[in-house]
């Protein structure tokens, strides 16, 4: 029953001069409000009837039904398909964005910590260009570990990695740091303005990553039996 049907029902009561004394009757009518009128037939009966036809008659009936429904049916199906397409398109778009982020993360260049320090100093502190960052004179003047940076950049593959990191994005390698100690002494490897030396700088003894040592003139300490490597931070 719809709203108009309910109005007409009560208009008849009014015309017949009947009083609406039953609350139950009113509630029953309100509950039935806007409920669809029962169809005089069931859909399955119609389908069974059409299936009983030969293929040619089936096609004609279906075409006639769609024709009777007309543009309203086509517009409804179009809108439904359009909205579904928008939802699916948005979902696909989000998936592609997520995949692109993952791909970018996987393509990130990993640089040793001393090169991370050098890029930071070049880009954020001194506003150097890429060509400045590869210039040996500038490296020797400004880099914290100039000799190590220069030795690492001598490899053409490392130069390409550095350029990619400079232009796109990169991450610093997770490297442990060590104190390098001469066995049976209290002397540690330290770096001064004039190079590497063994002496005890007490609480200020320098720490190194294995790659820093590998690209320095003291790479021999990595496999020397007279050296102790004390891991101090990861």
Give the residue from 85, 106, 127 where a domain finishes.
106
Domain assignment of residue 38, yes or no: no
* CA–CA gap between residue 194 and residue 174 (Å, rounded): 28
DSSP 67-117: HHHHHHHHHHHHHHHHHHHHHHHHHHHHHHHHHHHHHHHHH-EEE-HHHHH
> What is the per-residue pLDDT for 150?
93
pLDDT at 93: 66
Asked which of 172, 189, 206 is the last residue of a domain, the reply is 172
pLDDT at 213: 86
Calculate mean pLDDT across residues 57-69.
77
Statement to judge: residues 78 and 98 lie in one domain: yes
Residue 205 forms part of a structural domain: yes
Per-residue pLDDT at 137 exceeds 90: yes
Q: What's the mean pLDDT when you consider all of the chain?
A: 78
The pLDDT of residue 62 is above 70: yes
What average pLDDT does this structure show over 200-228?
86
Q: Report which of residues 209 and 217 the model is more confident about.
A: 209
Residue 232: pLDDT band (50, 70, 90) is confident
pLDDT score, position 85? 67
pLDDT (0 to 100) of residue 57: 83
Q: Does 155 lie in the same domain as 194? A: no
Structural domain that includes position 17: 3-32
Number of domains in the chain: 4
- Comparing 182 with 233, the larger pLDDT belongs to 182
56 & 19 share domain: no
């Amino acid at each position: 029953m719809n709203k108009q049907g309910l109005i007409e029902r009560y208009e008849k009561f009014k015309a017949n001069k009947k009083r609406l004394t039953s609350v139950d009757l009113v509630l029953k009518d309100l509950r039935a409000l806007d409920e669809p009128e029962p169809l005089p037939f069931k859909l399955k009966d119609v389908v069974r009837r059409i299936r009983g036809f030969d293929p040619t008659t089936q096609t004609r009936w279906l075409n006639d039904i769609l024709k009777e429904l007309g543009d309203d049916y086509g517009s409804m199906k179009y809108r439904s398909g359009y909205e579904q397409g928008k939802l699916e398109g948005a979902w696909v778009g989000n998936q592609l964005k997520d995949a692109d982020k993952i791909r970018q993360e996987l393509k990130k260049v990993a640089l040793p910590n001393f090169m991370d320090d050098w890029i930071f100093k070049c880009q954020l502190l001194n506003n150097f260009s890429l060509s400045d960052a590869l210039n040996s004179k500038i490296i020797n003047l400004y880099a914290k570990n100039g000799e190590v940076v220069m030795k690492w950049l001598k490899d053409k593959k490392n130069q390409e990695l550095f350029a990619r990191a400079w232009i796109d994005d990169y991450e610093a390698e997770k490297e442990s740091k060590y104190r390098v100690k001469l066995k049976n002494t209290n002397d540690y490897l330290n770096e001064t303005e004039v190079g590497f030396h063994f002496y005890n700088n007490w609480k200020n003894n320098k720490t190194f990553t294995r790659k820093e040592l590998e690209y320095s003139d003291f790479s021999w300490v990595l496999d020397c039996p007279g050296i102790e490597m004390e891991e101090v931070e990861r």
